Amino acid sequence: MKILFLCGGVGKRMQPLREDKFFFKFLGKELLLHHTGHLKALGFKEEDFVFVGNPANIERLRGLCGGGVKYAVQKSPRGMADAVLTANEENLIRSPGEDLLIVNPNDILEPAAYEAILKKGGARGRGDANILGYKVDKYFPGGYLVVEEGEKIRGIVEKPGAGKEPSDLINIVLHLHRRADEFIEFLEAENERRGKGNDRDDVYERAMGRMMKAGFDFRVVEYDGFWTAIKFPWHILNAMAYFLSTTDKLHEKQVVNPATAKIPESVKVEEGAGKVVVEAGAKIFDNVVIKGPAYIGRDSVVGNNALIRGSQIGDRCVVGYSTEIKNSYIGDDCWFHTNYVGDSVIGNGCSFGSGAVTANLRFDEKNISVAVAGVQTDTGLDKLGCLMAENCKVGVNASIMPGVRIGANSVVGAGTVVTQDLEPNKFLFFRAEQTLRENRVLRENRLGGGKKEEGEKKEERLSLLF
Amino acid sequence: MKILFLCGGVGKRMQPLREDKFFFKFLGKELLLHHTGHLKALGFKEEDFVFVGNPANIERLRGLCGGGVKYAVQKSPRGMADAVLTANEENLIRSPGEDLLIVNPNDILEPAAYEAILKKGGARGRGDANILGYKVDKYFPGGYLVVEEGEKIRGIVEKPGAGKEPSDLINIVLHLHRRADEFIEFLEAENERRGKGNDRDDVYERAMGRMMKAGFDFRVVEYDGFWTAIKFPWHILNAMAYFLSTTDKLHEKQVVNPATAKIPESVKVEEGAGKVVVEAGAKIFDNVVIKGPAYIGRDSVVGNNALIRGSQIGDRCVVGYSTEIKNSYIGDDCWFHTNYVGDSVIGNGCSFGSGAVTANLRFDEKNISVAVAGVQTDTGLDKLGCLMAENCKVGVNASIMPGVRIGANSVVGAGTVVTQDLEPNKFLFFRAEQTLRENRVLRENRLGGGKKEEGEKKEERLSLLF
Amino acid sequence: MKILFLCGGVGKRMQPLREDKFFFKFLGKELLLHHTGHLKALGFKEEDFVFVGNPANIERLRGLCGGGVKYAVQKSPRGMADAVLTANEENLIRSPGEDLLIVNPNDILEPAAYEAILKKGGARGRGDANILGYKVDKYFPGGYLVVEEGEKIRGIVEKPGAGKEPSDLINIVLHLHRRADEFIEFLEAENERRGKGNDRDDVYERAMGRMMKAGFDFRVVEYDGFWTAIKFPWHILNAMAYFLSTTDKLHEKQVVNPATAKIPESVKVEEGAGKVVVEAGAKIFDNVVIKGPAYIGRDSVVGNNALIRGSQIGDRCVVGYSTEIKNSYIGDDCWFHTNYVGDSVIGNGCSFGSGAVTANLRFDEKNISVAVAGVQTDTGLDKLGCLMAENCKVGVNASIMPGVRIGANSVVGAGTVVTQDLEPNKFLFFRAEQTLRENRVLRENRLGGGKKEEGEKKEERLSLLF
């Protein structure tokens, strides 16, 4: 069997975060490697893996996944069908009698999802294709499977609207094609039909639809474990919460458990709500409190009196003195110092000056909305802090309002209140008109008796540039 | 004996606090209930109690004091005489041979004051009326008792001026009238004399003066225990200090003593200066320090590393991570998070964003004055923080200057410095002119060698609305 | 032997710090007393000491050094030669057969330097004068000794430029003149030659140069221990670091060692990088962390949860709750409260409001430069906080940018970002234009369902004076 990872897509809804979603690290490992890890645990070898990337990410893909796997590049990404056909043109996926498993690495699934599709979908006589069907209990704006006669799929209906769902099963892109040859032919035919330059993303789905109509046997593999798709930047927090909930399954060798690590006695580790993972090389200083679930990356330092709860801290971070990180995703190489960072996503290499704070709750306690690709989008969250890309710097005593997005390499000046999104490579500061005058009050104080000092009373207005 | 509580007065000097003073809770119980509690402990029953309220507070009075007591309503409050006469018109206080005890529930007295007036004043042959005389050792702007021949009172002199005091005894409204019938007749006559619509507050005192002249025997009951009147909002802090000093007399059942409660070992409770009371349901997190005297209300949470000293925290509050509450009165349902709140009165339902601070000391270290009803009034305090009514919200990194009053339901924006009083239902924020420019510095840094990048240098000025 | 301390110089490069450098206290003792202490330990008596001051500092010098020593006053300080000649005119240094040791008390040397020059320089037949030669391993802009034939000095070359050094030995003003009579004559002659009113500082060096040419035998005493000169205000931090490194040599009686003092068990003292000294009367509260090297002066208080590392705290200071003092020199009588003070020099009597912060790192991470006497000077430090003279006050939530100098008796308003140097006796605050409007959001919230309230929408702009 060939396993095809769809790594070529380019999303715009993740702004300000610029990394491909599957490159985000969870528990110290890129999301993509979590997928391959699950599959390796089920017996697959690197030679079974094919990654379809794009010109912008292929180098990083190669660096991450190594030389034992195969790669194809979508020169100008035009959706899933284009990805499969590109891999096919490179002769990477079609070999007689082999099945084809298509994986969307931006989805997060439990290992059980892989087990299910491979065990059930791979069983003898089990149809021509198998699709993972995620069981929902309320309406979700995705593609619903039309299921009849047991597990047979008759079609897929995109976003039918609440109350009009043909089933309670959503199409998840974990597809096992057992007739890969025919599937590719249908893709080619559908692609031809639409003409070159067609970048509609439904060629893949239409090709499957035609196969179903032509009598190919599609089956559903039901799945009711954890699933989330990372579509918007705040979904990183959902994904993090999932991975943090899995840490009790980590190998002891992978993590330094606080119970065995050399952590000062004054550090309080509370695991009532979830495990606390401290990676090798991390240092926890006196009087720190860590409330699980929490993850502290390699060689990171948690300074005195800090509080970390429900958060993932990347590698080589410094969470300095008297800082609270709550329910936040922190990348690698970040520095904090007397901050509050709550319900936030902070990219790699960011630093916060002392007293800088992320506000995470509106005064009116309404849901926080974000302008995604120009469209104001309700996040569904009443608590959301900052969404910050990599290499940003935040000045001392700065305040970042809920849901604000800050582009990569941008800087927020000291004492500045950030109420609007900030594009990449910007420097935002508030130009304070300041007043400078003689310090009369202290002088009077020393003269005593409220006696006023005569003389100079000049007052100067300054418009300061920082 | 009937006990008449004067609950109908309307004060304007307590702004921004709007509640009647006797509704303020101390040690988890409204001030009014402290008064009734003392009297019940001396054997009085609910049927002896008469409360004179006003249209605005009668419902709340009924809710608080229940159905076993009697109520009258001053339709348009016109002072103490009006209150007594209103109760009399309802036939609530005059019954043959019964004494009448008049209580001002805005005063705070030790139980010993009640014991004294009832024991001494109620003794056989002990005059026609008894007045509690509070012993002062320096001039106080109140009504001084003119005392002759042992404990006989010849008159009351209002605010005689320092050095002209007729005695060292102040008239405290804890009056035991043993000739209630005649007293009410004198009140009616004095009221008549002054005409309807008279709202002068001295009808009561003048009636007593006429009785004295007519030969009625008024006696003083000297008292040198604790007394304070709540006249200005900062007096809440005096009252709090008194109640905090009494907690060693609380019943074990009422409070969860830190010594017996399940409080983490890392919490430091210092009772050198006063007892620490933690009510049932309250949770104290690791590394908290509480310096007595202090009171933590029911179901409140004190977050990690917080410091509480000399303060009362109401019910259902959250004193979050790394917050200091010092010498402050905090109402119910308040939230704090990395704040410093010092020498402040904070009403119910207020919340402070991370980094918000109350300044409590002027730069010139002079006494802090407050504009009470338009008149700048020296509080006599060089340390005074914020006086905040209920349901206010303070943004992250905001700063509130000493003595500032903030009306109910008002909001202070992030990073805003509040230097003036804020009326109720307002939103105050600072409209920062901000500058947005290309972040050249970091780019140069990466190019290395101080090399300057040519090109775009646009600078944009933004006037941000929050 | 007479020992002459050159205390008359007036430096301008130390702004905003105004004290003479030798008055700065290290480990609770003025720098000048460290010098005299070393010499007393080597057997010298007070009667051997001569201090040459100036009109501005002579009273303080007398107060510090007492009546057992001798004083001269340079009426208008004109350099080292003038200082020696002034002392000579007062007949304080020339007595037959006595040696003259000249000490610059602004230099910091180990006791070993005194031992070396006195032992080696004072040895029989050991030349006519001895100069301490500090061994450098890279170029330093000072006076280099031209050394020939073993330890004989042939001349001094001022700032020869890198690569042109005549030796690796710098002239340190610890000079032992064994022919004091002739030396003074040479000084007088050189002074005469230059004319009255000459304030060039090289008369002293030229006189020595002429002596060398005339055949007097000058020798070098090599020294490779610690040496630093305090020239710029940030050098105070170098000096502090040195003194902190010496505390293991303090007498047990002088200091209260944390190991023996009554310090709460919850306090963490880490001495891995240097000893922690706590003077008598100091109080350390619960949950404090002190990381050596560190020094806490007499009667100072370190509040709960504070962190002190690599710093000296003066006498009678209060380092309040949740404050971090890192690598900073703090004078006497300073108050802090929830602050971060890093890499800073803070004069006596300063106070910081809650949330005030010193930034100590530029966004571009370049070296911090300071305008010394009008000339922008690279400090060589990429971490430098604030340089603050005595009796300053910093408002709550204020931010002071890296390398900013604040003159004595100046005040920074609440929430103000200080980006430029502040002269003495100033009051700087930011005049925020604020907006006051009806608090609609909360009302809508209460009305529910997003229903908007009609009516008043007035918005008022305020230009607030603090």
Does A289 contact B at CB distance below 8 Å? yes
C182 membership: H or E segment, kind and range: helix C180-194
Residues C299-331 have pLDDT tens digits of 999 999 999 999 999 999 999 999 999 999 999
**Measured distance CA(C242)–CA(C251) in Å, rounded:** 17
Residue A429 has pLDDT above 90, yes or no: no
Do B262 and B189 have their domain in common? no
Q: Which of B229, B246, B264 is the last residue of a domain?
A: B229
Contacting chains of A (3 CB pairs or more, <8 Å) are: B, C
| Residue B443 and residue B455 in contact, taking contact as beta carbons nearer than 8 Å | no
- DSSP SS3 for C277: strand
From chain B, the residues in CB contact with A422 under 8 A are 436
Same structural domain, B67 and B30: yes
Among A202, A229, A256, the domain boundary falls at A229
Tell me if chain A has a CB within 8 Å of the CB of B264: yes
Are C7 and C52 within 8 A, CB to CB? Answer: yes
What is the C-alpha separation between B453 and B444, in angstroms, rounded?
Answer: 7
- pLDDT at position C98: 82
Instruction: Say if residue A109 is in the same domain as residue A249.
Output: no
Question: Average pLDDT of C77-104?
Answer: 89
> Which residues of chain C are within 8 Å of residue B426 when distances are taken between CB atoms?
436-439
Is the confidence at residue C454, as pLDDT, over 60? no
Per-residue pLDDT tens for A355-412?
999 999 999 999 999 988 888 999 999 999 999 999 999 999 999 999 999 999 999 9
Distance between CA atoms of B365 and B341, rounded to whole angstroms? 18
Residues of A in contact with C355 (CB under 8 A): 355, 397
Give the rounded percent of residues in chain B with a pLDDT score beyond 70.
Answer: 89
Q: Are residues C458 and C416 in the same domain?
A: no
Q: Rounded to an integer, what distance in angstroms lies between the CA atom of residue B403 and that of residue B367?
A: 10
CATH of the domain at C331: 2.160.10.10
Q: What percent of chain C has pLDDT over 70?
A: 89
- Classify B154 as helix, strand or coil: strand
Picking from C419, C440, C463 by the largest number of A CB atoms within 10 A of its own CB, the best residue to mutate is: C419
Contact call for C438 and B427, based on CB within 8 A: yes
Residue A435 clears pLDDT 90, i.e. is over it: no
Number of domains, chain B: 3
Give C392's contacts in chain B (Cβ within 8 Å): none
Kindly identify which residue of chain B lies nearest to residue A414, measuring between CA atoms.
B415
Q: Is B359 on the interface with C (CB under 8 A)?
A: yes
Is residue B150 located within the same domain as residue B270?
no
Mutation choice for A interface testing from B287, B335, B354, B465 by most A CBs within 10 A: B354
Q: Which of B211, B229, B247 is the last residue of a domain?
A: B229
Number of other CB atoms surrounding residue C90 within 10 Å: 14
Report the distance separating Cα C210 and Cα C366, nearest Å.
45
pLDDT band at B397 (very low <50, low <70, confident <90, very high): very high
Q: Exposed (0-12), middle (13-18) or buried (19+): which is C62, by Cβ within 10 Å?
A: middle
Residues of A in contact with C432 (CB under 8 A): 432
Q: Do B436 and A427 touch (CB under 8 A)?
A: yes
Cβ–Cβ gap C425/A435 under 8 Å: no
Taking an 8 Å cut-off on Cβ atoms, the answer to whether C415 and B429 are in contact is no
Q: How far apart are CA B204 and CA B8, in angstroms?
A: 15
Name all contacts of B392-395 with Cβ < 8 Å and 24+ positions apart.
B392/B347, B392/B350, B392/B351, B393/A363, B393/B350, B393/B351, B393/B353, B393/C442, B394/B350, B394/B351, B394/B352, B394/B353, B394/B356, B395/A359, B395/A363, B395/A399, B395/B353, B395/B356, B395/B429
B95: Cβ contacts below 8 Å, ≥ 6 apart:
B2
User: What is each CA distance from A12 to A17, A21, A26, A57, A91, in whole angstroms?
Assistant: 9, 11, 21, 15, 30
d(CA A66, CA A50): 12
Other beta carbons within 10 Å of C16: 23
Lookup result for tokens 């080589």: A316
More confident residue, B96 or A197: B96
Report pLDDT digits (tens) over C3-56.
999 999 887 899 999 889 999 999 999 999 999 999 999 999 999 999 999 999
CB contact under 8 A, C432 and B430: yes
Q: How confident is the model at residue B460 (pLDDT cuts 50, 70, 90)?
A: low
Which residues 376-395 on chain A approach chain C with CB closer than 8 angstroms?
393, 395
| Whether residue B465 has pLDDT greater than 80 | no
Mean residue pLDDT across chain B: 89
For residue B175, is pLDDT > 70? yes
Q: What span, in angstroms and rounded, lies between the C-alpha atoms of A50 and A52?
A: 7
- Contact status of A358 with chain C (Cβ, < 8 Å): no
Cβ(B35)–Cβ(B363) below 8 Å: no
Please check whether residues A77 and A98 belong to one and the same domain.
yes
pLDDT of residue A200: 63
Q: Do A202 and A239 fall within a single domain?
A: no
* Subunit contact A440:C431, Cβ cutoff 8 A: no
Gap from C68 CA to chain B (nearest CA, Å): 41
B91: phi > 0 → left, psi -120 to 50 → alpha, else beta; which?
left
Chains touching B (at least 3 CB pairs under 8 A) are A, C
pLDDT band at C200 (very low <50, low <70, confident <90, very high): low
A271-294 pLDDT, tens digit each: 888 999 999 899 999 999 999 999
- Residue C432, min C-alpha distance to chain B (Å): 6
Cα(C409)–Cα(C428) distance, rounded to whole angstroms? 12
Residues C85 and C209 occupy one common structural domain = yes
- State the Cα–Cα distance between residues B286 and B399, nearest whole angstrom: 28
Q: How many CB pairs below 8 Å do chains A and B form together? A: 128
List of chain A residues whose C-beta atoms are within 8 Å of the C-beta of residue C442:
363-364
B173 CB contacts (<8 Å, ≥6 apart)? B6, B80, B102, B103, B104, B107, B132
pLDDT one-digit tens code per residue, A138-159? 999 899 999 987 789 999 999 9
Considering only residues C258 and A107, tell me which one the structure prediction assigns the higher pLDDT.
A107
What pLDDT score was predicted for residue C290?
Answer: 96
Residue C423 has pLDDT above 50, yes or no: yes
**Residue B142 distance to chain C (closest CA, Å):** 36
Query: Domain containing A461: what range?
Result: 437-466
Beta-bridged to residue B277, according to DSSP, are: B295
pLDDT at residue number A134: 96
Check whether residue A193 and residue A78 sit in a common domain.
yes
CA–CA min distance C237, chain B (Å):
27
Q: At B176, is the secondary structure helix, strand, or coil?
A: strand
Which tens digits make up the pLDDT trace of A154-191? Answer: 999 999 999 999 999 999 999 999 999 999 999 999 88
pTM more than 0.90 = yes
Q: Provide the Cα torsion C58, C60, C62, C63; round to 10°.
A: 170
Contacts of range C89-98, beta carbons closer than 8 Å, 24 or more positions apart: C92/C2, C92/C50, C93/C2, C93/C4, C93/C50, C93/C180, C93/C184, C94/C180, C94/C181, C94/C184, C95/C2, C98/C1, C98/C2, C98/C180
Which of the two residues, C202 and A101, has the higher pLDDT score? Answer: A101
- Chains touching chain C through at least 3 C-beta pairs below 8 angstroms are A, B
Return the SS3 of B422.
strand
Cα distances (angstroms) measured from residue B243 to each of A368, B29, B111, B246:
43, 11, 12, 5
The per-residue pLDDT of chain C, averaged, comes to 89
Q: Are residues A183 and A214 in the same domain?
A: yes
**Neighboring chain B residues of A342 at a CB cutoff of 8 Å:** 354
Quote the pLDDT of residue C18: 86
pLDDT of C374: 85
pLDDT in tens, C51-76: 999 999 999 999 999 999 999 999 98
In the prediction, which pLDDT does A288 show?
96
Instruction: Compute CA distances A399 → A367, B85, B324, B414, whole Å.
Output: 19, 58, 20, 7
At B195-218, the pLDDT tens digits run 655 556 689 999 999 999 999 999
Which of A324, A417, A422 is facing B415, going by the closest CB pair? A417
- Residue B358, token pair as written in the block: 């109350």
Does the pLDDT of residue B292 top 90, yes or no?
A: yes
Q: What are the chain B neighbours of C305 within 8 Å (beta carbons)? A: 287, 289, 305, 307, 322
**Distance, CA of C21 to CA of A4 (rounded, Å):** 72
Query: pLDDT tens-digit profile of B293-334?
Result: 999 999 999 999 999 999 999 999 999 999 999 999 999 999
Q: How far is C258 from chain A (nearest CA, A)?
A: 17
- Give contacts of C395 with chain B, Cβ < 8 Å: 359, 363, 399
B411 at interface of C, judged by CB pairs closer than 8 A: yes
Are residues B295 and B210 both part of a single domain? no
CA dist., res. C402 & res. C423, Å (int): 16
User: Has residue C157 got a pLDDT over 80?
Assistant: yes
Higher pLDDT, C307 or B248: C307
The amino acid sitting at B359 is A
- Could you give the CA distance from residue B37 to residue B42 in angstroms, rounded to a whole number? 9
* Cβ neighbours of B445 in C, within 8 Å: 364-366
C434 at interface of A, judged by CB pairs closer than 8 A = no
Q: How many angstroms away from the CA of A7 is the closest CA of chain C?
A: 35
pLDDT tens digits for range B1-57: 899 999 998 878 999 998 899 999 999 999 999 999 999 999 999 999 999 999 999
- Of A108, A327, A137, A356, the C-alpha closest to A234 is A327
Is residue C452 packed enough to be buried (19+ CB in 10 Å), middle (13-18) or exposed (0-12)?
Answer: exposed
Nearest to C436 among B305, B357, B428 (CB): B428
pLDDT of res. B261: 66
Distant-in-sequence contacts of B49-53, Cβ < 8 A, 24+ apart: B49/B3, B49/B5, B50/B2, B50/B3, B50/B4, B50/B5, B50/B87, B50/B92, B50/B93, B51/B5, B51/B7, B52/B4, B52/B5, B52/B6, B52/B7, B52/B8, B52/B83, B52/B84, B52/B86, B52/B87, B53/B7, B53/B8
The residue that leads in pLDDT, A199 or B73, is B73
Nearest residue to B237 (alpha-carbon basis) of B47, B383, B435, B42: B383
Is residue A384 within 8 A of residue A233, CB to CB? The reply is no
**Range with the largest mean pLDDT of A122-126, A306-310, C122-126:** A306-310
With an 8 Å Cβ cutoff, are C437 and B427 in contact?
A: yes
Position B182 scores a pLDDT of: 92
| Percent of chain C at pLDDT exceeding 90 | 73
The answer on C247 and C158 residing in a single domain is: no
- pLDDT band, residue C464 (cuts 50/70/90): very low
**Inter-chain touch C410–A321, beta carbons under 8 Å:** no
CA-closest candidate to residue A8, choices A68, A45, A69, A60: A60
Interchain pair B439, A431: CB under 8 A = no
